[in-house]
Structures are given as structure tokens and as C-alpha cells.
Amino acid sequence: MKKILVANRGEIALRVMKTAKKMGIKTVAVYSTIDRQSPHVKFADEAVLIGEAPSNKSYLLGNKIIEVAKSLNVDAIHPGYGFLSENADFAEACEQNNIIFIGPKSHAIRIMGSKLAAKDAVKSYNIPMVPGTDEAITDIADAKKIAANIGFPILIKASAGGGGKGMRIVEKESEFESQMDRAISEAVNAFGDGSVFIEKYVASPRHIEIQVMADTHGNYIHLFERECSIQRRHQKVVEEAPSSVLTPELRSKMGEAAVNVAKACDYVGAGTVEFLLDEHHNFYFLEMNTRLQVEHPVSEIITNTDLVELQIKVANGEKLPMQQKDLKITGHALELRVYAEDPLNDFLPSVGTLETYKLPEGKGIRVDNGFEEGMEIPIYYDPMISKLITYGNTRDEAISLMKQAISDYDIKGIETTLPFGTFVCEHDAFRSGNFDTHFVKKYFSAEKMKLQHEKEAKIAALIALKHFNDEEKQLRVPN
């Protein structure tokens, strides 16, 4: 493999290109008009404009991207995450054009892209499932009876869904039909597919996911778990590895289940198997993401691996260079997604110019970044601008370093989720490890964060005053 086209933008495009460069592989960037000056465009060996700012006129143009790849004699395409990364038709088109798709085969993407098909595929492996329907709902009256048998509260979920779209919690039977109509309508609008199913609502779940890797020689491994329970609007904001609640026995069971999910669809490459963990530490298969995850750095750090390098090697037909017995967890890693969002205003997007943009540095600090000072945050794409990752020998060390790194981050011109990261790191529930996916709903409010800011400002002012008084006293001391 001599040349890779990265069909993405921002921090993930840059992160993939850095590994490719380390491996001696040339890179091609594609970009939209608004991303002309982006770091990933400057970093690549070659860069091609593919369209206007909206993603459906640029980064989602699979056929155009393949045309560019062919014209530049590209060997492989890395899709990153988002955009075309879980598009089975795009993966198939790459295969048909003799371009290596750095990811799973199209059939695996299709199976795992439908939550119902995924459930059906893993049945024979006895993987724990949340009680619910195993096929799409067609008759609402029958579905209502099934829901009553399962027991409320229940969850209505879009089969083709993700990111909380097409998802409705139904607390009681009288709300069932109206919530079903809303879920189907939202699923049609978001995915063009109104198929929904129902399952028991796990009241206090933790969101635990397992990183898996597989090669074309029948080798499967898992790289342990990530704790992803700190979310807003069903989207992760803070992730860590390992989880503070998994015992070695539970970790082994969940890892084995994740590998079996990968085997169920003949998976190749990097993937993530997501589970719900209830308050009694029972785990249930949720779904599989057939791509690299945003939070993959925390897994890389605790296992001392480069997942993108492994993706490229596996796509090139090489065997995995390690077996399960070679992998162990070392230390603890934490990741904060730095979104251009205002936590004091219901996490609404914050667009503007990065008037000041200085990143933290130091031992144990990693920033996967896709922006530079002076750039504008575009409204057309996901609002994540970077990822802040910290590593320590212990969880407490990683948390302390995260707080310090957040304070060393200097961003002016937009609002970000950095203050929310501080709020999380200082909250007793997070520090104790006793939290679930309802953390934001239970503990967070704009008022609480404002009070925290005021408290920190007062402490900083008192410290500054003490330093000033101490210096004054020293100046007054006669020789």
C-alpha cells in the first residue's frame, strides 16, 4: 500500500494521515470549499477540492471520491468516522473499483447497520439481549400487547438509527401510540427507514463498549472496554478506559461476547461492540459500530497500540501482530470531546471564529485536533473541534491531569464544552465512579456550572490576593 485517500475532514483526517506518514504511505486529502485552509489539507501530500460546504455536496459524494482516488492511483480509502464510514454501498463501490476500503466488508456493514439484522446475526452465540421484539413492528395493536408483556417503561428504537434519533422512552401504556408515531416519523426523516422495534428500558444503564480487531486470517482480539456513560442527548462527551466498575471476570465475559459479535458477521478491521450494563452488572448487546470510534485514543493509550496502523495492516492482508494473551491494561486514560457548544445554553452549537486557540501540552496529554487559530467553525458539520486525552497511572491521576489540561486550553471567540469537562471531573458522582447515562439529567444544570465558576473565580482571587500580600510584606522587610 503506497497511497491512501482519507475520505474525511478535521481531526480524524489528520490523525489517520499522521499514522500513514509514519508508515511511509502517501496521503490524499479531499476537502470542501469551506475547508480549503484546514490543517488536514495542508498536511496531505495531495489535496483535491470535491465540492461545496454542505456534506451532501462534498464529503458524502462517494462516486466522486472514488473517481478522485482512481485518477490519483490511490490504493486504499480510509473513511474515518461519520460521513461514508458506515455506508455499505460506498464500501462495495470501493471493492468493485479495486480500491481497498480500510474497514469491514460491505456485507458486515449491512448486517450491523440494522439493529434488527444485528440481533438476528448474533442469536446463535447466546449473547445477552435486552428483552424486546426481534423484528420490525408492523401492527401497533400487537406491539402494544408485547410492550405490556415486557413491562413498562419500554424503549422504542429505530432499526436504522443512531445518535438518539428515532428513540422514545414510554413510561406508561397510555403514551404508547403517540410515542410510536413520533419515533416512526423521526426515523423516516432521519434515515429514510421507518422500521422500529421495542425493548425493555434499562433504567440506570452504563454505556460500556468493547474495542475489537480482526484480520483476514481468522484472528480476533479485543482491546478491553471504554466507559462512555457521560452523554448529552444520547451523544458521548467524556469517555475513559478502563471502566471503574468492571471486574476482571466481567471484562473477560464482555470481551468474549464482543469477539463473538464480530465473528457473527465475519468482521474484518477495527470495530466497536456496544453494551448496556445495568445496576446489577448484567450486560446486554446494544449494537456494533463498524468503524473507528471517536474515543479510540483511550484504548490506544492503555494498550500501547495504534489502531489506525492496525487497520491499515489488516486491510493490506497482514496478520494481526498480537494475540489476546499479549494485551494488558496499563494505567488509565480519559477523553473529553471539545465541542463548539455552549453548555450554559442547553449545549446549543456555538459558531464563530477561533480568535485565540492555544492547546495544552505536556506529559500524559494528547490533543487530536483539526483546527488552527483564526479559523471559523463551520455550521455544516459536527461541532467537535478537537479531543483532549489525558493519561495517568491511576484514574485519579488522569482526572487531575484532565482538569489541569482544560485550564491550560485557551480558546476565545466561541463557547466550548471545556467547562463542562471541568464540571464532570469535579463532581463526586464521577470521581467515585458511581454514575450512569443519566449523569447530565441528574446532576448538571447551567446554574450549577455558573456557581462552580463563581466559586473557582473567588478562590483564584483569594490566592492572587495572598500572593500580593506576601510580596508586599517581603518588600517591607528592611535589610
- What integer pLDDT is reported at residue 433 of this predicted model? 96
How many folded domains does the chain comprise?
3
**291 labelled catalytic:** yes
Q: CA angle at residue 305 from 299 to 306, to 5 degrees?
A: 95
Q: Which residue in 15, 206, 232, 291 is the catalytic one?
A: 291
Domain identity same for 324 and 402: yes
Q: Mean pLDDT for the chain?
A: 93
- Residue 224 DSSP one-character state: E
**CATH number of residue 192's parent domain:** 3.30.1490.20
Q: Is residue 463 part of a domain?
A: no
Q: Is residue 138 part of a domain?
A: yes
Q: Is residue 453 part of a domain?
A: no
Q: Is residue 462 part of a domain?
A: no
CA distance 78 to 84: 10
- What integer pLDDT is reported at residue 454 of this predicted model? 66
Residues of the chain below pLDDT 70: 162-163, 452-464, 466-468, 472-479
Residue 333 domain boundaries: 206-447
- What integer pLDDT is reported at residue 456 of this predicted model? 63
- What integer pLDDT is reported at residue 429 of this predicted model? 97
Q: pLDDT by residue (tens digit) across 357-413?
A: 999 999 999 999 999 999 999 999 999 999 999 999 999 999 999 999 999 999 999
Domain identity same for 193 and 241: no
8 A C-beta contact, residue 93 and residue 63? yes
- What integer pLDDT is reported at residue 452 of this predicted model? 67
Domain identity same for 293 and 419: yes
- What integer pLDDT is reported at residue 468 of this predicted model? 65
Q: Is residue 176 part of a domain?
A: yes
Beta strands in 382-457 (DSSP E): 384-392, 410-412
Q: pLDDT by residue (tens digit) across 165-209?
A: 778 899 999 999 899 888 888 888 888 888 888 998 988 899 999
Closest CA to 1 of 119, 88, 107, 101: 101
Domain identity same for 34 and 155: no
Strand partners, 275: 208, 285
Q: Indicate the pTM of the whole model.
A: 0.88
- Residues whose CB falls within 8 Å of the CB of residue 456, separated by 6 or more in sequence, listed in order: none
8 A C-beta contact, residue 438 and residue 401? no
CA distance 58 to 83: 10
